[in-house]
Structure 1
């Protein structure tokens, strides 16, 4: 089992060196050696898994993707950044967010969606994240955008939301590709329900293995394993378990849909394929190139070099290598319809508990 980072190797920006170094040790690289004990260890130490991953991966995400760490659907000819924003607007619209609402962003990353949704819906957003490094960057970017009076960020554990914020504290809660990191969906969904006011709405884009995924199939299990290690996820679960968890904790589902099942001409995973000829706009060429063979070559050697020079914490290069595993696995999962990053659910806390 991987050791838990308990040393004081913290940097001024909130990253902890040992967490990054220890990250890949939570998985057996050979799936045949993976056992229940490995999964249980990741689930039990989910905060170290998540923080080790994001301490190492956040800068790479910002370099290779954007400040919104999520996927999105594409219309033909639609630019990458426009697609990300539209995906956030769509969630906000489906939730029917109204000006003045107090909204919680669970697993807020560096705050890209929070800033966009605050502008789009004129709501007041609190972002919660257990990664100090990301919260610091979220605050910096939000101040730069002049939104610090409308959008704020706090360090916290999404498995203890009611303890931090109190029950019935928010008009609405959303999570964008974040609650997959939770040790259990029932646990995090239950906490979300507690902090919602009666009648409050919860909207989520959830990462799931689809109903076509078969855990008894070795190839399917290997795919899930690659997604886990490449994305800091303790254990991947099937879509039906997310639905069951929402109902089990008492949410009323108003709408659900796997948006990856839409018959889009341009698939959600296209930027990960690294084919510059598929870039939707000239501005997107660089984003797509970074995932190409030459782009990966440059990142591979460049990151190794700057780590040796001490510009990034030790272990960052190895976390970067897992991102390559992730990219390939996500494309494979998307093409085979075994994985979705956009199971959309809009649900509501009952006005009166049964």
Structure 2
């Protein structure tokens, strides 16, 4: 089967599952509009990669099954999780730092602006968003910088929602959303002026694969800046609690395997990037932690609207969502698997908070890298060309100088000969 045929089948399935044109409204409207059989099959397809596998005794073959089928696994995950993400978090599926007096959505936007600043994005630049989700960051960065943003995503439902939202805010001509695998990007070499990713490349089975593709499509001298999900040096894989927490994050967030920050940094260097900076933004003295919304701590909400976001993550808020989704599933309005999806996402929240508190995990290991090797080569070649040109000019000048010298010598010799002949003639005349 060709890639185009596979993409066509994916799109057809997505339209049948989500009913693209019919879906609207909030979480309940979206999940009750799903094709029930298709949704149940997607949930079962995702769970088969994880259920009943002990993280301490899991075989390498079982891990390899996830890595080798990462596209199917991740696609299934976002087919069941996207609506829940939007309900609980909005259209930018990522974490951020929080400053006093700053609302949830202001903090989310600032986190995106900070990344754009690292890239020095200017109006008119061609920028790639790797793993763009439903396009929230792409639209924000487009409006903030004036650049053209291309979003790459392998999930048709999210691409549809991203395109629809771009039209709604009048950015359909300044953004583009492409179906594609970030391990085999559908772009020519040296296409983009800058590339960014926000908590998306963690879905790659091997980091060199996605980083290498970024290196390929980035123009010489371009910059790649991104927030990576990583485990830290505090993570001990032999510690049962540590492994349970990290495994919970992997299972509940559709990640084949989380890597240490040192592994991610080395992978970036391995594909040819020159690392400009690497910084774990989760290691800070902020009064409010990056994971506070998942804690469900209403006392940390910065404004009245944040109470609604945080409330959904409280024990009572999660109980209400579970009761409502479970009730709709029981009476047949919501598809089978809806409640299980809600429980998966609750596991994600709980494990992320535990990992954050213990310092085992970071969702914002910021790496900024440049294709300096290419740029250095270009500069070196340009220098050689200039040197050769100047050198050639010097040689030509030297040859011209020698020609002039020979000419002058010849003329002086002629003058000397003429003078000598004239002198002889004068002496002869005198004798006469």
Aligned to 2:174: 150
Aligned to 1:64: 88
1:42 is aligned to 2:66: yes
Aligned to 1:300: 322
- Separation in 1 of the partners of 2:376 and 2:183? 21
> Residue by residue, what CA displacement relative to the aligned partner does 1:67-99 show, whole Å, maximum 9, x if unpaired?
000000000121000000000000000111111
Aligned to 1:227: 249
Aligned to 1:13: 20
- Separation in 2 of the partners of 1:259 and 1:342? 6
1:261 is aligned to 2:283: yes
Larger mean CA deviation between 316-325 and 341-350 belongs to 316-325
Compute the displacement of 1:20 (Å). Answer: 2.6
What aligned pairs does 1:1-354 form with structure 2 within 5 A after superposition? 10-11=16-17, 12-13=19-20, 17=39, 18-29=41-52, 30-161=54-185, 164-308=186-330, 312-350=334-372, 351-352=374-375
TM-score by length of 2: 0.77
- Separation in 2 of the partners of 1:309 and 1:28? 26
- Separation in 2 of the partners of 1:42 and 1:343? 24
- Separation in 1 of the partners of 2:118 and 2:327? 45
CA RMSD of aligned residues (A): 2.0
Compute the displacement of 1:155 (Å). Answer: 1.0
- Higher-Rg structure is 2
Structure-2 change in CA distance of 1:145 and 1:72 (3 Å): same
- SS in structure 2 of the partner of residue 165 of structure 1: coil
Larger mean CA deviation between 300-309 and 247-256 belongs to 300-309
> Residue by residue, what CA displacement relative to the aligned partner does 1:173-224 show, whole Å, maximum 9, x if unpaired?
1000000000110000000110001111101100000111111222211111
- Separation in 2 of the partners of 1:313 and 1:232? 21
8 A contact 1:127–1:151 mirrored in 2? yes
Structure-2 change in CA distance of 1:34 and 1:126 (3 Å): same
Structure-2 change in CA distance of 1:353 and 1:160 (3 Å): farther
- Separation in 2 of the partners of 1:353 and 1:312? 58
Compute the displacement of 1:13 (Å). Answer: 3.1
TM-score by length of 1: 0.94
Give ranges in structure 1 of 5+ residues lacking alignment. Answer: none
Compute the displacement of 1:311 (Å). Answer: 5.3
8 A contact 1:254–1:346 mirrored in 2? yes
- Separation in 1 of the partners of 2:56 and 2:118? 43
8 A contact 1:270–1:278 mirrored in 2? yes
8 A contact 2:195–2:224 mirrored in 1? yes
Compute the displacement of 1:60 (Å). Answer: 0.4
Compute the displacement of 1:310 (Å). Answer: 5.5
8 A contact 1:19–1:51 mirrored in 2? no
- Separation in 1 of the partners of 2:242 and 2:126? 41
Aligned positions, number? 348
8 A contact 2:56–2:243 mirrored in 1? no
Higher helix share: 2
> Residue by residue, what CA displacement relative to the aligned partner does 1:19-38 show, whole Å, maximum 9, x if unpaired?
33221221144434522222
Larger mean CA deviation between 12-21 and 179-188 belongs to 12-21
8 A contact 1:72–1:268 mirrored in 2? yes
Structure-2 change in CA distance of 1:198 and 1:46 (3 Å): same
8 A contact 1:21–1:52 mirrored in 2? no
Give ranges in structure 2 of 5+ residues lacking alignment. Answer: 1-8, 22-33, 378-432
